[in-house]
Homo-oligomer: A and B are copies of this chain.
Amino acid sequence: MTEFQELTIARHLTQRLHELSVSEGFGIVGDYVLKFVGTLHEAGMPVLNTTDEQGAGFAADAYARVRGFGMVVCTYGVGGLKLANATANAWSERVPLLVVSGAPGISERENDPMLHHRVKDFDTQLRVFQDLTCAQAVLGNAHAAADEIDRVMACMVSEQRPGYLEVPRDMVTQVIAPPESSLHVHVPPVDEAALRHAVGDVMAHLRDASTAVIHAGAMVERRKLSKALYRLATTSGIPVASSSLARGVFPERHELGLGVYLGALSPEHVVRRVEDADVLLSLGVLQTDLTLGAFTAHIDHERYILATDTDVTVGYSTYRDVPLWAFIPALADALDGESISVGHSPLPTHENFVPSDDACTVSDVVHAIEIHLDERHSLLLDPGEALFSAVDMRVPTYAHASAYYATMGYAVPAALGVGKADPDRRPVVVVGDGAFVMTGLEAAACAYNGVPAIIVVLDNSGYGTQRPIMDGPFNDIPAIAVERLPEAFGTGCGFDVRTRAELDDALHEAVDSDELCILRVHLPKDGRSAALERLGEALRARA
Partner of A404, one of B116, B463, B482, B487: B116
**CB-defined interface of A106-118 with B at 8 Å, one 1/0 digit per residue?**
0010000111111
Interface stretch of the complex, out of A74-82, A174-182, A272-280, A499-507: A74-82
Q: Do A438 and B51 touch (CB < 8 A)?
A: yes
Alpha-carbon distance A124/B132, docked complex (angstroms): 8
One digit per residue, 1 when the CB lies within 8 angstroms of any chain B CB and 0 when it does not, for chain A 380-393 equals 00000000000000
Complex contact A474–B405 (CB within 8 A): no
Closest to A463 in B: B29
Q: Which residue of B lies closest to A520 (CB)?
A: B488
Enumerate chain B residues within 8 angstroms of A85, measured Cβ to Cβ: 77-78, 81-82, 84
Q: Is the beta-carbon distance between A88 and B124 smaller than 8 angstroms?
A: yes
Assuming A53-B438, A480-B489, what are 14 further A-B pairs, CB within 8 angstroms? A34-B470, A34-B474, A49-B476, A77-B405, A78-B406, A78-B408, A116-B406, A118-B405, A120-B131, A120-B132, A437-B441, A445-B478, A481-B488, A484-B488
Across the interface, do B466 and A31 meet the contact criterion of CB distance under 8 Å?
yes
**Residues A111-166 near B (CB distance < 8 A):** 113-120, 124, 127-128, 131-132
Return the 3 tightest CB-CB contacts between A and B, nearest first: A448-B478, A81-B85, A51-B437
Is A1 an interface position by the 8 A CB rule? no
Q: Is A398 an interface residue (CB 8 A)?
A: no
Contacts of A49 in B (CB 8 A): 473-474, 476-478
Which A residues, 264 to 319, have Cβ-Cβ distances below 8 Å to chain B?
286-290, 295
* A472 at the binding interface (Cβ < 8 Å): yes
Q: Nearest Cβ distance between residue A44 and chain B, in whole angstroms?
A: 14
Interfacial residues of chain A within 1-36, with CB under 8 A of chain B in the complex = 29-31, 34-35
* Residue of B92, B287, B466 touching A29 (CB-CB under 8 A): B466
Q: Closest residue of chain B to A92, judged by CB?
A: B119
Instruction: Output the least CB separation between A299 and chain B (Å).
Output: 15
User: Are the CB atoms of B117 and A406 closer together than 8 Å?
Assistant: yes
Using CB atoms, name the residue of chain B closest to A467: B34
1/0 per residue, CB under 8 A from B, across A475-516: the answer is 111111110110111100000000000000000000000000
C-alpha spacing A124/B127, complex, angstroms: 12
